[in-house]
Structure 1
């Protein structure tokens, strides 16, 4: 094993990780050969996927900044991934330094990085937990000690629900968080779409079958249903490279047209 592939105990270097695949697509170095192999298979049929990953990241940053400007001061990021700058707390605190952030991920590599980067950082905490067990997250002392659910909170599910299979009840996971959120809270979702190129879908599903990185591509209507109870803000649920809330002339899309791997994103405000 190379220096690059030294990972914490309990990590199987033969099994790809969605967080590390995404890290590789963004140009990061915290990934293994198995992760790069998955990414390269996808890039072979959908070479614009690196741009999609960057657009997904930019969507997250713009959405968080927008909500901080709306007065949201609490953020829970589910499926954080390997830390990348600008992070959620960096983005939110550019608007208001009192913003508090909980980062949640199950990957031990992500957890290790978070512990190093967030050590002794007030108002920020990292929790190793599985999105599929929302009760564990909502009752975690780091979460309950930092987040006031009587006040608006933003819950982020960026590029994570497509790793939750139908039998794992993704709608129930969203509902569990929605029930704890105060009115005027927000939900941010981005999701890989069934409207993607069939060959790109096939390559990714074959490369990740039976692993934590396996994906369930959903239709536009299926993803919209995750926003039940929320009112979509801005342009609605649209391709991430098109999501923007400011003047149109201030937004330069990273992609032209429809990418072969389509990811859509939206921001919803919880109705009173």
Structure 2
């Protein structure tokens, strides 16, 4: 079952979109010349950041599935890139249920790839925007049991939500709906690790009509207020790992963490 807006927006190929630029940075083909043009103006480190985000998601999702978490709400899904979140978790927990959400209509075209679940589990796709969290939650309840723990995945998403759009409030309200024992998985671009690089990326996205809200470590840490950070806490994306072998050390402008909801 794929859920979308009553009047889904048409794909605008005249303006770059974060999901499609991210796809291009990962080496995907599901983007348009306007997305490629923006991607080509970004520094090479942007490719590394996209890869680091993806690898962090894989490690965190696998660890959570190994802890018995079998429900995932992934907001800001992006264009499917193998392996997708449900493929990671259902390999460990075949009965896991995953609900994907994105606001780019092109992702809807690929929803069938996101909906190929194991026979025991379930996947669903919602076309919606994180800035309308109530709509996402209402539709997600059709698949997920909000009386049992859920992992909320916000990978490389919230730096596209500015302070004026109340990024922290959006996450706080989403987390407040989840039962005890749930988790927040979040990665976020840093403004303070490589300030000049962050400023360059922000400027290039702005030229493409996309506002960014890169944040400092304390500002990213605020997303986890009241939650129990899982060791190793708030780190850079390559530094976050649990049971898997440690990734190769490398510089990163991406903060990442997993936290449990008490």
The TM-score with structure 2 as length reference comes to 0.90
The superposition leaves residues 133-176 of structure 1 with CA deviations (integer Å, 9 ceiling, x where unpaired) of 10111112xx1121111100000000000000111111111111
What's 2:115 paired with? 118
Q: In 1, are the aligned partners of 2:77 and 2:102 still within 8 Å (CA)?
A: yes
Give 1:81's match in structure 2, choosing from 66, 78, 83. Answer: 78
**Structure 2 CA distance, aligned partners of 1:117 and 1:230?**
30
**Structure 1 CA distance, aligned partners of 2:114 and 2:68?**
26
What's 1:252 paired with? 247
Pair 104,93 (structure 1): closer, same or farther in 2 beyond 3 Å: same
**Structure 1 CA distance, aligned partners of 2:216 and 2:113?**
38
Q: How many residues align?
A: 253
Give 1:268's match in structure 2, choosing from 241, 259, 262. Answer: 259
1:41 corresponds to 2:41: yes
**Structure 2 CA distance, aligned partners of 1:52 and 1:244?**
16
- SS of the residue corresponding to residue 139 of structure 1 reads helix
4+ runs of 1 displaced by more than 6 Å? none
The TM-score with structure 1 as length reference comes to 0.87
Q: In 2, are the aligned partners of 1:42 and 1:200 still within 8 Å (CA)?
A: no
Q: In 1, are the aligned partners of 2:38 and 2:208 still within 8 Å (CA)?
A: no
Pair 120,191 (structure 1): closer, same or farther in 2 beyond 3 Å: closer
* 5+ residue gaps, structure 2: 1-7
Moved more, 127-136 or 174-183: 174-183
* 5+ residue gaps, structure 1: 1-7
- SS of the residue corresponding to residue 209 of structure 1 reads helix
Deviation for aligned residue 1:38 = 1.5
The superposition leaves residues 179-199 of structure 1 with CA deviations (integer Å, 9 ceiling, x where unpaired) of 111111000000000114333
**Structure 2 CA distance, aligned partners of 1:52 and 1:207?**
15
Pair 179,9 (structure 1): closer, same or farther in 2 beyond 3 Å: closer
The superposition leaves residues 212-269 of structure 1 with CA deviations (integer Å, 9 ceiling, x where unpaired) of 732111000001010012111121111101111137xx2232x52x34xx01100000
